[in-house]
Amino acid sequence: ETDFNAALDWVKTQPEGKPRDELIARIALARSQVDPAEAARLTVEQIPAGEAQIEAAIAVLHQWALHDPNGAAAWVETFPESPIRERALNELASVARYRTGE
């Protein structure tokens, strides 16, 4: 949280695999608090396609939607038609319900 660039540089030196993907996901989640677009880019570019990337993207999306629902929705609109897009749309709806107190 205090030195994003140093944390990311260190993680990039780690061997590829699940532990590294999990560290990147944690960095992206922390980054989503201040720069959700950068956090989204990080999940797409630094975590290989698969379950870890999906979970990281949904976590970033959740934080983004809490602070900037329009920006989060715009990101989801870039997703191709797929189960991840449906899951992301459901996440947006869930956050919207939370924000309105439903």
Condensed to tens digits (0 to 9), the pLDDT of residues 50-76 reads 999 999 999 999 999 999 999 999 999
Pick from 30, 27, 25, 33: nearest CA to 68? 33
Residue 1 pLDDT class (50, 70, 90 cuts): low
Residue 2 pLDDT class (50, 70, 90 cuts): confident
Q: What share of the chain is helix, strand, coil (3-state, %, to 5)?
A: 75, 0, 25
Strand, helix or coil at 40?
A: helix
